[in-house]
Amino acid sequence: MAVCCDLEVDVNGEETFLLDKKIICSFSGRLSKLFDKSTNAKRNKVIFRDFPGGVENFELIARFCYNNGKIDINPSNVSLLYVAAQFLDMNNSVSGNRNLIEKTMKSIEEISYWTWSDLLATLKHCQDLQSSGIVERCLDSLVGRLAIPSEASPCASTSSLDSPGFWLSCDTKSTKSLKDGFSQATWWFEDLSILSPDMIEMLIKSMVSRKYNHVIIGRFLFHYQKSKFYTASPDEKHQVLETVIDMLYTLDTNSISCKSLFRIYRVVLNLNISKNSRNKLECMIGSQLDQATLDNLLIPSPYGASYLYDVNLVLRFLKAFLCGGDQQVSPMRIKKVGSLMDMYIAEVAPDPCLKSSKFLALVVALPDSARDSSNGLYHAIDIYLEVHAGLSDEEKMKICCALNYEKLSTEAGIHLSQNAKFPSKSAVQALISQQLKLKNLLQGTNNTKLYTNSPCNFIETKGKAKKDEACEPTLYSERLDISVDNEKLREHLQGMQCRVMELEKVCKKMQSEMAKIMKSKAAAHSSSARSLPRLCS
Task: With H, G, I as helix, E, B as strand and everything else as coil, classify residue 17.
Answer: strand
Of the ranges 20-24, 177-181, 370-374, the best mean pLDDT one = 370-374
Question: What value does the mean pLDDT take over residues 108-119?
Answer: 89
In a domain, 92, yes or no: yes
In a domain, 81, yes or no: yes
Q: Do β-strands 44-48 and 7-11 pair in parallel, antiparallel, or remain unpaired?
A: parallel
The total of structural domains in the chain comes to: 1
In a domain, 297, yes or no: no
242, 230 in Cβ contact below 8 A?
A: no
Q: Cα separations (Å) of 267 from 149, 225, 240, 295?
A: 35, 10, 12, 16
Q: How far apart are CA 419 and CA 415, in angstroms?
A: 6
- Bridge-partner residues for 337, per DSSP? none
More confident residue, 178 or 347: 347
In a domain, 94, yes or no: yes
Residue 32: pLDDT band (50, 70, 90) is confident
In a domain, 432, yes or no: no
Residue 190 has pLDDT above 60, yes or no: yes
DSSP state string for 226-244: HHHTTT--HHHHHHHHHHH
pLDDT in tens, 431-441: 887 778 777 76
Domain that holds residue 107: 7-113
CATH number of residue 35's parent domain: 3.30.710.10
In a domain, 430, yes or no: no
Q: What is the pTM of this model?
A: 0.72
In a domain, 15, yes or no: yes
Q: How far apart are CA 98 and CA 66, in angstroms?
A: 12
264, 241 in Cβ contact below 8 A?
A: yes
Residue 524: pLDDT band (50, 70, 90) is low
In a domain, 55, yes or no: yes
Secondary structure letter of residue 114 according to DSSP? S
What count of other Cβ atoms lies within 10 Å of the Cβ of residue 509? 10
Residue 293 has pLDDT above 70, yes or no: yes
Question: What value does the mean pLDDT take over residues 141-166?
Answer: 52
